[in-house]
Amino acid sequence: MGWPVQSLRSVATAAVLAAWLAALVLPPVLLMRARANWLTQLDRPEAQANWDAFRRDMRQQSGRDGPVQRKVPKSAEPPARVWLRDYFWLAVVAWGLFVGVLGGFFCLLVVGVLRGATPRLTPASTKMAQRPESLAKNQTRRHDHNDQQHDRDAENT
């Protein structure tokens, strides 16, 4: 004994919505948890020394002639530290907006496909279904119209 189709559609709809919510919430939460640890690592003197050495190397390479012209980074701090400290919340809000809007729209499309298009009868289509002879009349009129148009085209040429 299988599940009714409506029940399967409801389960699939719930699964799609749960996946969307997980994609919306899970990455920012994991990033928030890792942020403190990353900032601690970037505050160590070795990280700053590596960044200073990189900038010194770029300064030496910027005056050389070669296939690539190097630019010295302006920031005295590593970019990861600046991003995690100053722009972290902007990134979380941007994630929420993009995944919220684009993911929500995608979920609406998937839910629409899962629910399927059920044909709805309009009053005009029910009249046509009740009187099939009107279809024959319309086709006869269309045929007569085409013949008249053909005759006019022949006269105009």
The pLDDT tens digits of the residues spanning 5-33 come to 677 788 888 999 999 999 999 999 999 99
What is the pLDDT at residue 37?
Answer: 94
CA 109 to chain centre: 11
Pair (132, 109) in one structural domain:
no
What is the pLDDT at residue 38?
Answer: 94
Pair (72, 13) in one structural domain:
yes
Task: State pTM to two decimals.
Answer: 0.59
Tokens linked to 46: 């070795």
Domain count, the chain: 2
What is the pLDDT at residue 123?
Answer: 61
**DSSP conformational letter for 132:** T
Pair (86, 19) in one structural domain:
yes
What is the pLDDT at residue 126?
Answer: 55
What is the pLDDT at residue 133?
Answer: 64
What is the pLDDT at residue 151?
Answer: 80
Pair (70, 126) in one structural domain:
no
What is the pLDDT at residue 85?
Answer: 92
Pair (78, 17) in one structural domain:
yes
pLDDT < 50: residue spans in the chain:
1
- Give the span between the Cα atoms of 99 and 102, in whole angstroms: 5
Tokens linked to 96: 């929420």
Domain that holds residue 29: 5-118
Pair (147, 71) in one structural domain:
no
**DSSP conformational letter for 87:** S
- Give the span between the Cα atoms of 64 and 34, in whole angstroms: 39
